[in-house]
Structure 1
Amino acid sequence: MREIVFSAIYQYDFNEDVETSSDYLERELSFFSMEDEMKLRTRKYFESILKYRSDIDEVIRKHLMNWTFERLASIDKNVLRLGAYEIIYEPQIPIEVTLNESIDIAKKYGSEQGGKFVNGVLDRIARECASTEKKHL
């Protein structure tokens, strides 16, 4: 589910066309056998990340160390968007799950160093932005 969301927001990053990116998301969903509930959750993540994109980007900017948002590779930027969204807006997902999944996606589509970078940024975001309840999941 997260990989499909990642690929759709990555697609949006290049064309900034919601309709094209939504069509891409639906095509990707058609390739996988998923329960309807998981498909709905995938769409919700995608739509919410686009809705809160500027807020999410601002959170990421604040937690970058010795780096600027504009210099981020698109893969890392979109993995961070997905991870930050989940940390801030999905209270039932444990932080460790978000970190592990985000690192795996960053390594799979980027580099080993990207995984370490994503881990560091998301860890800082989690420490500062995650709810108290979420920190105790």
Structure 2
Amino acid sequence: MIKRRQVRETVLKAIYAYQLSKDSSQHIVDTLIKKQEFTKDKELRRFAEKLFFRTLEHEEELDEVIVDHIKNWDIKRLALIDRLILKMAICELLYFEEIPTKVSINEAIEISKRYSTAKSGRFINGILDAALTDLSESGRINKKGRGLIQKSLGS
């Protein structure tokens, strides 16, 4: 069974390829996302494409949220993988009203453990917890359905 984590990992690789290659976003989708086994499932394919395009579409806004929470640190000094994982997770927090906030945060932490450094999971958790608090307080988190609004993994 293909899980959404595999889809998120594919999207991370696609955004990474887009950042480094500067190929068109559609070319990246056609070569990296649409060739995956999970694309036989329409829902998973739509989720992958939506996460990829929304993350790119809102890149400046997502960077601003990250910058607001990395005290005394230049965003360009962040590991690229960590930055992309943060962008994807914040994109989910803001633009995927059906995904619980704790799921987005947990998935980001788990993906960082696989694709980044040993310390990345704690770093990403801290940034996302702080971002979620601020975004919630400013009314920017709009989740629908039961159990979809949770402050953090600890709540």
Q: Same fold (TM over 0.5)?
A: yes
Q: 1:50-89 residue pairs with structure 2 within 5 A? A: 50-89=56-95
Q: Give the drift of 1:94.
A: 1.0
TM-score (norm 1): 0.88
Instruction: Name the structure with the higher helix share.
Output: 1
Bigger drift between 4-13 and 71-80 goes to: 4-13
What is the rounded CA distance, in whole Å, between the counterparts of 1:65 and 1:24 in structure 2?
37
Count of matched residue pairs: 135
Unaligned runs of 5+ in 1: none
Percent identity (aligned): 33
Q: C-alpha separation between the residues in 1 aligned to 2:49 and 2:36?
A: 15
Q: Which residue of 2 aligns with 1:37?
A: 43
Q: CA RMSD in A?
A: 1.9
Deviating runs (4+, > 4 A) in structure 1? Answer: none
Structure 1 132/22 Cα, relative in aligned 2: closer, same or farther at 3 Å? closer
Give, in whole Å, the separation in 1 of the partners of 2:18 and 2:128. 21
1:37-81 deviation line (CA, Å, top 9, x unaligned): 110111111011111111111111111123210101111010001
Alignment CA distance shift 1:132-1:31 (3 Å) = closer
Corresponding position of 2:119: 113
* Cα displacement (A) at 1:136: 4.6
| Greater relative CO (CA pairs within 8 A, separation 6+) | 1
Q: Give the C-alpha shift of residue 19 in structure 1.
A: 4.0
Bigger Rg, which one? 2
- What does residue 97 of structure 1 align with? 103
Find the counterpart in structure 1 of residue 30 from structure 2.
Answer: 23
Which residue of 1 is the match for residue 149 of structure 2? Answer: 135
- TM-score (ref. length: structure 2): 0.78
